[in-house]
Amino acid sequence: MRHSSVPRVEVTNRQRMIPISTDGLQRFAEVASALVCKHKQRRSHMKSLRVISVLVVSDRRMAQLHKQFCGISGPTDVLTFHHGEIVISVHTAARQARVFGNSLRGEIQLYLLHGLLHLAGYDDDDPGECMEMHQLQEKLLATLHHPSA
């Protein structure tokens, strides 16, 4: 049963080029969201959210969003919007998974968790906060992948 302060998560695949399991990603997102809510900061945006939408898109769509909202050309891995939207580029995830020896599923889960941490109030623009966010991200990933550890 979902705790009332944990937003509902909806995962949608908006690309057709790379097959992904939205059911598996949905289950991961629900557990990750509940876990991240336990670590939210005072400046968390999660407090006011009822729903978090996770959209998996192509590099082409991500590049459009990256330019529109950040003024930066080209795709990025994940964009997080404070109104509760996390957008993940499946093509960037596939490339990065190969570079880092990760599975596509694992890379997408990493991006999803990263987006949830942004919604929970963590910021990676400041070097000190970036380190704190990265350490928590690794700790939570380990917990999510090995819950009994």
Which pTM was predicted?
0.92
- Given its phi and psi angles, is residue 33 left (phi above 0), alpha (psi -120 to 50 degrees) or beta? alpha
- Reading the block at residue 120, the tokens are 């929970």
Query: Which domains are seen in the chain, by residue range?
Result: 8-145 (3.40.390.30)
**Residue 87 · residue 53 · CB < 8 Å:** no
DSSP 81-132: ETTTEEEEEHHHHHHHHHHHT--HHHHHHHHHHHHHHHHTT--SSSHHHHHH
- Reading the block at residue 13, the tokens are 């695949």
pLDDT tens-digit series, residues 17-58: 999 999 999 999 999 999 999 988 878 888 889 999 999 999
Mean pLDDT in consecutive groups of 10 residues from the start of the chain, 149 residues: 74 96 96 92 85 98 98 98 97 98 97 96 89 94 80
- The pLDDT of residue 1 is 42
- The pLDDT of residue 146 is 81
- The pLDDT of residue 6 is 86
- The pLDDT of residue 42 is 78
Q: What angle do CA 58, 61, 62 make, to 5 degrees?
A: 85
- The pLDDT of residue 148 is 60
Three-state DSSP string of 21-64: CHHHHHHHHHHHHHHHHCCCCCCCCHHHCCEEEEEEECHHHHHH
Angle between helices 104-119 and 22-37 (to 10 degrees): 30
- The pLDDT of residue 34 is 93
